[in-house]
Structure 1
Amino acid sequence: MSVGMIDTSRIEAMVAQLKAAAARATPGGANPVGEGALQAKPATGAVDFQSALKSSLDQVNEVQLQSKKLADRFEMGDPSVSLSDAMISLQKSSIAFQQTVQVRNKLVSAYQEIMNMGI
């Protein structure tokens, strides 16, 4: 469903991904992000948007570091690392980075749209 130029299904999918990342970031795996998560002051134990975003960025960084290490091992001639493993790892890190850039672009676009709204 689209509202104006905003595709709400993609936004809902992104929110679901952020909630899943937040659940992975919290001890015990509980999902503290619920219907009341948009309050100005988060409840005790609730994960705010900033920490969910940081967790996602940390995960992308970790994927990139792991793929770089795997590629370096392949380049150094490690027989336990195949070319296909190194290439797949590099592609995964590339896709994760592209997804992060797209999320950033959507956030900037949403911010600009909100700032241009009349009161």
Structure 2
Amino acid sequence: METKSAITALAALAQESRLAIFRLLVAVGPEGLAASKIAEELEVPSSSLSFHLKELSHADLIVARQDGRFIIYSANFSAMNDLIGFLTESCCGGNPCGPSASPRSATKKSVPKSAAKSVVKA
């Protein structure tokens, strides 16, 4: 993914309603949802929903397909994975890593208060 595409995708997701729409579409999977169901689920007015769907579509984060008289929107999982790859391509200095290597998953060792105070004084 090119930097410009990543910026466009991140900008599209940097808004509460659009992020909620995208997360909902990721959760429902490839089958997607009709705009009316998205609006109902997220309680977003249809007038603003169409604007948000356009922005997500412009960023290539969602795709639309005709299903009878409905337009079904679904997450573009390929673009999502490209964005994740772009954000993590230099993770851990390019060495293979995963969630288990993240600092959050490591158990924190307790540091005695006296040791913590001596480090602060130094």
TM range (shorter): 0.3 to 0.5
TM-score for both structures, normalised by structure 1 = 0.35
Q: Which has the higher contact order (CA 8 A, sep 6+)?
A: 2
TM-score for both structures, normalised by structure 2 = 0.35
- Which structure has the larger Rg? 2
The structure where helix makes up a greater share of residues is 1
